[in-house]
């Protein structure tokens, strides 16, 4: 056997031995497993945080909307100033969460037939009239009391996902609208009139 052949055989034997040692070495296994599992754990943590925060804000939106309708139905009559103050009521209920861009619509509705009503007055957070007085609105099927008066409160609050990873998906998915609509029946008299609504 020539020297060159012996040299190549010894070299192959050393390479096989080195590969065997590399194959049996488990020192980096933990680091590799952590590198695979860590992103999944972080995503699960962020997801659970976002879900719990979203549910908390959704509960606040529901409570704020019902409070506005509840306060208005306790009045014998309302005026523009009272209706405009309702946005402060909604903001205080939403605390500590801020409401910057939101929609609040308050509407007095006289039920004419089952499932149908006529708008008596309407006001939004900007002082506008979202529904014209005298226009017809469709009511939920469970409101069947004819000649009753209801206050409808509609609150929509955009919620921006705080830990949303930028660049992963479209920016319009970063904000979701949390909304709640309530119908409360008047508590005093037969109708809640707005004394200075146009």
> What's the chain's average pLDDT?
84
What pLDDT score was predicted for residue 100? 82
Residue 64 and residue 70 in contact, taking contact as beta carbons nearer than 8 Å: no
Looking at per-residue confidence, does 45 or 157 come out higher?
Answer: 157
In order, the DSSP letters of 48-76 are: HHHHHHHHHHHHHHHHHHHHHHHHHHT-S
CA gyration radius for the chain?
32
What pLDDT score was predicted for residue 115? 83
Q: What is the mean pLDDT of residues 54-74?
A: 93
Among 99-113, 121-135, 143-157, 166-180, name the one with the lowest average pLDDT: 166-180
Residue 90, pLDDT above cutoff 80? yes
Residue 159, pLDDT above cutoff 70? yes
pTM of the model: 0.74
Strand partners, 119: 109
Q: Where are the beta strands (DSSP E) in 126-187?
A: 136-138, 149-160, 175-185
The pair of three-digit structure tokens given for residue 154, joined into one six-digit string = 């509609």
Residue 74, pLDDT above cutoff 60? yes
The pair of three-digit structure tokens given for residue 137, joined into one six-digit string = 């609105």
């Amino acid at each position: 056997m020539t020297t060159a052949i012996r040299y190549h055989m010894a070299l192959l034997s050393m390479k096989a031995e080195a590969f065997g040692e590399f194959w049996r070495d488990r020192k980096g296994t933990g680091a590799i497993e952590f590198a695979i599992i860590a992103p999944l754990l972080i995503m699960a943590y962020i997801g659970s945080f976002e879900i719990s925060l979203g549910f908390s804000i959704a509960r606040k939106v529901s409570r704020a909307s019902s409070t506005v309708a509840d306060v208005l139905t306790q009045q014998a009559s309302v005026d523009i100033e009272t209706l405009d103050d309702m946005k402060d009521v909604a903001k205080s209920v939403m605390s500590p969460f801020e409401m910057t861009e939101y929609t609040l619509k308050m509407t007095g509705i006289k039920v004419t037939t089952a499932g149908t009503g006529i708008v008596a007055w309407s006001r939004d957070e900007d002082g506008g009239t979202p529904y014209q007085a005298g226009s017809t609105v469709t009511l939920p099927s469970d409101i069947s009391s004819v000649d009753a008066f209801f206050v409808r409160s509609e609150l929509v609050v955009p919620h921006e996902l705080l830990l949303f990873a930028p660049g992963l998906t479209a920016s319009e998915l970063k904000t979701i609208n949390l909304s709640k609509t309530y119908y409360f029946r008047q508590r005093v008299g037969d109708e809640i009139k707005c004394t200075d609504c146009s």
